[in-house]
Structure 1
């Protein structure tokens, strides 16, 4: 993987695709699992945190990125600026939207852990 992503001149979109496809079976994102819980006294329903995380692999994330990209490309909405993500709470769905943007703007990549360990630098 290291050699594939360190090629000089590799466009960002190709680098992202290489990483996403190369690590397709590995967990990329996780969020705390929840379930609705209704207070019997007030009737108010809130989300109760569970003792597990629901995860999404790089492959599943990449599939969502592709679906989002296709939707935005083939069903444009007046006033929706491509290249600008929706706002909202941090969640797995928002990472897919951020990742979809690609191009030279790599802000969407910051939500992902670095999949390739940095190389050790030689003494010089």
Structure 2
């Protein structure tokens, strides 16, 4: 995980010569979903794969498991699902990890989650 933005593309470029076919780059940072889509489109013509994941949970997520929102092709989700479901937070035994749609969807869901969460915190503060 690296900071969102141009650093992601710099890291992808640095990895390019080291990747083998079917290697999977996972962007689990707070990326802008509009940045995730072109990265996935580029990976579609490359020998390696790419998937974007929104991760939420903060300190409690680090200790007890985060909520994981995956965006990308179904094959990437199926490759990662056992790992992600094992490390995710659980609600009544169900892992808080899901495929949310095509490339960019995981980061989009995370963005919406943040918007709702921050609005809720603002409402609580004002109350």
Question: After TM superposition, is the score higher than 0.5?
Answer: no
TM-score, normalized by length of structure 2?
0.22
Q: Which has the larger radius of gyration?
A: 1
TM-score w.r.t. the length of structure 1 is 0.23
